[in-house]
Amino acid sequence: MSNAQAIILAFETAAKAVSGSQIYLYERGLGGLKERTLRAHSTYTRDSKGELTVESTGGPYSYSAYNAIINNHIYSMDERDEMVKECHLALLKTGTYDKQIPDFVYNDLHAYIVKYVYR
């Protein structure tokens, strides 16, 4: 996360350099956000003079749009309970690798989930 702003700026710079490039920003989460939701989209085109035109649908792509998503914390107990449930379901799916993963890893991950969701 600490390099996110530099990485996003690099993507945006690369997209602006090539006419017709597009960047999509989706959000995934709990409840209605279980399936991805488009939050921002920008298309970068250059005319014959090299002037950049940015067209957006749903809001322009930017670091601030990304930042709004990653800093959208869960506050209600229902949301926190749902997050713990989803994390546990994800851990359950790793059961096929139980021979390669030591037991303490699951215990540590469970403790980490509970600690940071309910803090």
pLDDT tens sequence across 28-50? 877 766 778 898 999 999 999 99
52 and 107 together in one domain: no
CA-wise closest residue to 23 among 47, 48, 50, 56: 56
53 and 20 together in one domain: yes
15 and 64 together in one domain: yes
Supply the range of the domain harboring residue 53.
4-70
The answer to whether the CB of 98 falls within 8 A of the CB of 64 is: no
Which three-class secondary structure state does DSSP give residue 70? helix
Integer Cα distance of 104 and 84 in angstroms = 19
Asked whether residue 80 carries a pLDDT value surpassing 80, the answer given is yes
* C-alpha distances in Å from residue 11, one per residue of 15, 99, 106, 115, 119: 6, 39, 35, 34, 34
107 and 63 together in one domain: no
Count structural domains, the chain. 2
19 and 57 together in one domain: yes
52 and 103 together in one domain: no
Asked whether residue 19 carries a pLDDT value surpassing 90, the answer given is yes
**pTM of the complete model:** 0.63
50 and 18 together in one domain: yes
